């Protein structure tokens, strides 16, 4: 459309953003009945008290119930600039934005830590496997990686719980803190306890991400090692270590960076599922509970937010690729 | 080319065959090369066999499973597996048998515990009559692969669930959902993805642009949360068959995008090739070019992608059912069976409830190995 690739990229990202909000709104509209009546029912069930009519009238006005769907959509997105994404039924009518804000940090922390951990393990292993091609160790690692790909995250979480209960005999039931530290102030002990609890979901997450990265790194490096510039480097008399790490691996990592955009969703998926199973304070459990209770503004907003995070992740991956690969930057 | 060269040198004179045998490899047809390449990948062949077995067991679930899926005895709630034995203290027998479980009060804790009744041997008979079932909804039968003759004792290879139902039977029946969801879902995905991808690559222009943006947006959503959101919207009052269809559609709705992209890319490169241009120049219609030139050339890639999409779909269904927003009872799926296991006390006390996980794992692994093998096969010259 436009000559400038940057403007083009931004325009298409804006269009995607709009589509994301439309799809999230469709998800909000999918279940039968409207959110306000659901809220009234829920409130009567919990406290027996009925919602005051003024509040009801206000909510109906605010979200345009009874009006055409597109008006409802416009009223919903009109609140975005003010940080108003709707209200939550299961959290007693609290602002969706508040609930999300409290948990988004931990969600991102888990996903990003898992990303670093999986890369930190997968890249060296991939290099090792590629430089030892068709040896027993390569064969072993490649097949173990395929195993890793085949274990779904929720199964890993279940199996972990199984091991934790059986082998360690621990009273671990989930969460990120032992009972004693849940409400305590931050201290060295609490932090240590936190780390211990964090290790498990982190490991589960990284194993899933690792398998794919490992396989790609191995295949890439094998491709690169067959190219002429590697031969040239060897012919120049460079040490094998320099050839592999400075010449070959440097090029082989590039496709991984463009894969970053595909890996982040996998890790976010995993984070959500594991959080539901292990009850971690991320966006997973509220999203799940909201879906079950048809608390659609909360569910829809979380969904939209996850998509936006991934969109930003893709943008960052593109920028990183341009930074690391001059051919992309100038071409 | 293939009929001029024999693959079996033994039929010709050995001396004359010897120099030819060295070049035999190059004289094989592409199809033969592919087949050889596939057979060379032992894991892929093994996986294909495992999958064929699993699907056969699914088609003849009623025959393979010793009991009906809902047939339970409440006194056998969470009773452990009964291992198949050939020998015990009383000696050996050629006919395998099991020791039925009986409930006994533990002398220490006074709790009811299940122990194997060493006194009683229940022999396993093959092709026994039992619960009646239907094969593919057509033929009614009550013949089972194996079973006990006693009415009271029960054989449970993988233990019992909470309501005293045989877990093995339930897993076999659960495969009817878990294994078919992947196939049917992927079939829908392939049709959607291939058609949309080919059209979008062939026509280009605004249509291509719109489709690509739409696909990009769908892919930006994290899969599992969007699956969860869509399947949570399936009305709870729908009959189980509808829910099943709904789940398949939900899973396929997100899966076609990857295939559409791949097909689009292939179309873009194919439509510049001489044979397609020649067909265009001689006035072939778009539909003809698609059917006769584009689709056949992309078929192998589509098959590989589809094979690798099956495990993703199976895992999706398991995760949804595990979380309680997939298929609902009385339907059975492996994910649903696993959700029964997921309570801390259950895992600790009745670990055999995790067996459905093993079936999910084996199936997914087999599909991944098979996809890997097929990918090598598609490119037989490498």
> What is the spatial distance between Cα A330 and Cα A253, in angstroms, rounded to a whole number?
19
Query: Does the pLDDT at position B1 exceed 50?
Result: no
Q: Does B357 sit within 8 Å of A159, measured CB to CB?
A: yes
B contacts of A302 (beta carbons < 8 Å): 225
Q: Is residue A292 part of a domain?
A: no
Query: Does the pLDDT at position A162 exceed 80?
Result: no
Q: Which of B217, B225, B318 sits opposite A306 (nearest CB)?
A: B225
Q: Is residue A291 part of a domain?
A: no
Q: Are B160 and B170 in contact (CB under 8 A)?
A: no
Q: Mean pLDDT for chain A? A: 78
Predicted confidence at residue B10, as pLDDT, reads 44
Tell me which chain A residue has its CA closest to the CA of residue B315.
Answer: A152
Q: Does B338 sit within 8 Å of A19, measured CB to CB?
A: no
Tell me which chain B residue has its CA closest to the CA of residue A19.
Answer: B217
What is the total count of domains within chain A? 2
A contacts of B344 (beta carbons < 8 Å): 161, 165, 173
Tell me which chain B residue has its CA closest to the CA of residue A302.
Answer: B225
> What is the spatial distance between Cα A106 and Cα A283, in angstroms, rounded to a whole number?
8
Domain boundary pick from A75, A96, A117? A96
Tell me which chain A residue has its CA closest to the CA of residue B217.
Answer: A16
Predicted confidence at residue B49, as pLDDT, reads 93
Could you tell me which residues come within 8 angstroms of residue B9 by beta carbon, excluding any fewer than 6 positions away?
Answer: B17, B18, B20, B21, B24
The string of DSSP letters for B132-180 reads EEEETTTEEEEEEEEEES-SS----TT-B-TTSBBHHHHHHHHHHHHHH
Q: Are residues A149 and A276 in the same domain?
A: yes
Q: Mean pLDDT for chain B? A: 79
Q: Are residues A19 and A109 in the same domain?
A: no
pLDDT digits (tens, 9 = 90+) for B350-382: 778 888 888 888 898 888 888 888 887 777 665
Residue located via tokens 């897993």? B171
Q: Are residues A142 and A241 in the same domain?
A: yes
Give the mean model confidence (pLDDT) for residues A297-302: 85
Q: Are residues A169 and A87 in the same domain?
A: no
Q: Which domain holds residue A162?
A: 97-284+317-330
B349 and chain A in contact, CB less than 8 A: no
* Banded pLDDT at B50 (limits 50, 70, 90): very high
- Tokens found for residue B185: 């879902």
Domain boundary pick from A45, A63, A96? A96
The string of DSSP letters for B301-358 reads HHHHHHHHHHHHHHHHHHHHHHTTSSS-TTS--HHHHHHHH-SHHHHHH-GGGGHHHH
Q: Are residues A107 and A70 in the same domain?
A: no
Could you tell me which residues come within 8 angstroms of residue B29 by beta carbon, excluding any fewer than 6 positions away?
Answer: B1, B2
Question: How many DSSP H helices and E strands does chain A contain?
Answer: 15, 0
Report the CATH superfamily, name and number, of domain B170-377.
Answer: MetI-like (1.10.3720.10)
- Tokens found for residue B1: 């080319």
B187 and chain A in contact, CB less than 8 A: no
Q: Are residues A154 and A186 in the same domain?
A: yes
> Which site among A150, A277, A297 would you substitute to test the B interface, given the most B Cβ atoms closer than 10 Å to its Cβ?
A150
Q: Are residues A193 and A57 in the same domain?
A: no
Domain range annotation of chain B:
75-164, 170-377
* Banded pLDDT at B6 (limits 50, 70, 90): very low
Cα torsion angle, A38, A42, A48, A51, sign: negative
Q: Is residue A306 part of a domain?
A: no
> What is the spatial distance between Cα B160 and Cα A287, in angstroms, rounded to a whole number?
33
pLDDT digits (tens, 9 = 90+) for B144-182: 777 777 777 777 778 787 777 888 888 888 888 888 888
Helical pair B240-270 and B295-322, crossing angle rounded to 10 deg: 150
B217 and chain A in contact, CB less than 8 A: yes
* Host H or E run for residue B86: strand B85-88
B230 and chain A in contact, CB less than 8 A: yes
pLDDT digits (tens, 9 = 90+) for A201-235: 788 788 777 887 888 888 888 888 888 888 888 88
Give the mean model confidence (pLDDT) for residues A307-324: 80
What are the Cα distances from residue A60, in Å, to A74, A89, B356? 14, 14, 47
Q: Are residues A152 and A271 in the same domain?
A: yes
Identify which of B266, B264, B257 has the alpha carbon closest to the alpha carbon of residue B190.
Answer: B257
Alpha-helix residue ranges (DSSP H) falling in A30-152: 35-46, 53-63, 69-78, 96-131, 136-150
pLDDT digits (tens, 9 = 90+) for A82-120: 777 777 777 777 777 888 888 888 888 888 888 888 888
B contacts of A287 (beta carbons < 8 Å): 225, 228
Q: Are residues A90 and A104 in the same domain?
A: no
Peptide bond preceding B57: is omega within 30 degrees of 0, i.e. cis? no
Q: Are residues A139 and A265 in the same domain?
A: yes
Q: Are residues A141 and A280 in the same domain?
A: yes
pLDDT digits (tens, 9 = 90+) for B102-115: 777 777 766 677 77
> What is the spatial distance between Cα B69 and Cα B330, in angstroms, rounded to a whole number?
9
Q: Is residue A307 part of a domain?
A: no
B contacts of A155 (beta carbons < 8 Å): 318, 338, 357, 360-361
Q: Give the number of beta-carbon pairs within 8 Å between A and B.
A: 122
Cα torsion angle, B224, B226, B229, B230, sign: negative
Q: Is residue A34 part of a domain?
A: yes
Beta strands B101-105 and B112-116 are antiparallel
Q: Rounded to an integer, what is the distance from CA B275 to the centroid of its chain?
A: 38
Give me the half-sphere count of Cα atoms (radius 13 Å) on the Cβ side of residue A292.
Answer: 13
- Tokens found for residue A124: 């060296």
pTM: 0.80
CATH of the domain at A137: 1.10.3720.10
Considering just the CA atoms, what is the radius of gyration of chain A in Å?
A: 24
Q: Are residues A180 and A105 in the same domain?
A: yes
Predicted confidence at residue B4, as pLDDT, reads 42
Domain boundary pick from A79, A96, A113? A96
């Amino acid at each position: 459309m436009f000559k400038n690739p940057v403007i083009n990229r931004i325009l298409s990202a804006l269009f995607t953003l709009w589509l994301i909000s439309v799809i999230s709104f469709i998800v909000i509209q999918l279940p039968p009945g409207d959110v306000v009546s659901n809220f009234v029912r829920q409130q009567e069930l919990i406290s027996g008290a009925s919602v005051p009519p003024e509040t009801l009238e206000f909510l109906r006005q605010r979200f345009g119930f009874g009006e055409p769907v597109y008006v409802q959509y416009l009223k919903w997105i009109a609140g975005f600039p003010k940080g108003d994404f709707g209200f939550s039924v299961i959290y007693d009518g609290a602002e969706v934005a508040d609930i999300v804000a409290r948990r988004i940090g931990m969600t991102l922390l888990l996903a990003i830590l898992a990303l670093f951990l999986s890369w930190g393990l997968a890249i060296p292993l991939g290099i090792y496997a590629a430089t030892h091609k068709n040896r027993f160790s390569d064969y072993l690692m490649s097949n173990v990686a395929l195993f890793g790909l085949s274990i779904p995250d929720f199964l890993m979480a279940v199996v972990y719980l199984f091991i934790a209960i059986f082998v360690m005999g621990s009273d671990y039931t989930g969460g990120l803190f032992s009972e004693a530290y849940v409400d305590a102030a931050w201290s060295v002990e609490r932090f240590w306890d936190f780390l211990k609890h964090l290790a498990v979901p982190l490991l589960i997450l990284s194993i899933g991400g690792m398998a794919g990265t490992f396989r790609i790194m191995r295949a890439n490096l094998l491709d690169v090692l067959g190219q002429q510039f590697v031969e040239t480097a060897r012919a120049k008399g460079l040490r094998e270590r320099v050839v592999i790490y400075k010449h070959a691996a440097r090029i082989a990592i590039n496709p991984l960076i463009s894969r970053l955009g595909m890996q982040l969703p996998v890790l976010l998926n995993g984070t959500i599922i594991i959080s539901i199973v292990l009850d971690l304070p991320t966006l997973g459990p509220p999203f799940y509970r909201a879906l079950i209770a048809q608390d659609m503004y909360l569910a829809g907003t979380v969904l939209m937010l996850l998509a936006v995070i991934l969109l930003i992740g893709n943008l960052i991956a593109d920028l990183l690729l341009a930074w690391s690969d001059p051919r992309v930057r100038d071409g | 080319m293939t009929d001029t060269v024999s693959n079996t040198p033994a039929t010709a004179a050995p001396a004359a065959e010897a120099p030819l045998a060295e070049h035999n490899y190059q004289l094989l047809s592409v199809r033969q090369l592919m087949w050889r390449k596939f057979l060379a990948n032992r894991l892929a062949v093994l996986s294909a066999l495992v999958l064929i077995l699993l699907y056969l067991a699914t088609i003849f679930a009623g025959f393979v499973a010793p009991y009906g899926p809902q047939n339970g005895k409440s006194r056998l709630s969470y009773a452990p597996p009964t291992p198949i034995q050939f020998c015990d203290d009383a000696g050996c027998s050629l006919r395998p048998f099991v020791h039925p479980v009986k409930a006994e009060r533990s002398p220490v804790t006074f709790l009811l515990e299940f122990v194997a009744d060493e006194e009683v041997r229940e022999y396993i008979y093959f092709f026994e009559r039992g619960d009646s079932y239907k094969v593919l909804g057509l033929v009614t039968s009550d013949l089972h692969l194996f079973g006990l003759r006693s009415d009271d004792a029960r054989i449970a290879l993988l233990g019992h669930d909470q309501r005293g139902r045989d877990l093995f039977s339930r897993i076999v029946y659960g495969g009817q959902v878990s294994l078919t969801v992947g196939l049917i879902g992927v079939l829908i995905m392939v049709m959607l993805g291939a058609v949309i991808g080919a059209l979008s690559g062939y026509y280009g222009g605004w249509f291509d642009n719109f489709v690509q943006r739409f696909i990009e947006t769908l892919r930006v959503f994290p899969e599992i949360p969007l699956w969860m959101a869509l399947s949570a919207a399936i009305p709870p009052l729908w009959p189980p068959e509808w829910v099943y269809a709904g789940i398949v559609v939900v899973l396929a709705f997100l899966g076609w995008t990857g295939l559409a992209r791949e097909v689009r890319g292939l179309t873009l490169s194919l439509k510049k090739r001489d044979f397609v241009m020649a067909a265009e120049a001689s006035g072939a219609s778009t539909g003809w070019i698609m059917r006769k030139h584009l689709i056949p050339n992309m078929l192998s890639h589509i098959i590989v992608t589809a094979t690798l999409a099956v495990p993703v779909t199976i895992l999706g269904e398991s995760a949804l059912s595990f979380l309680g927003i997939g298929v609902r009872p009385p339907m059975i799926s492996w994910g649903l069976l696993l959700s029964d296991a997921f309570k801390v006390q259950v895992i600790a006390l009745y670990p055999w409830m995790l067996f459905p996980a093993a079936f999910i794992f084996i199936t997914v692994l087999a599909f991944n190995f098979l996809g890997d093998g097929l990918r090598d096969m598609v490119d037989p010259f490498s």
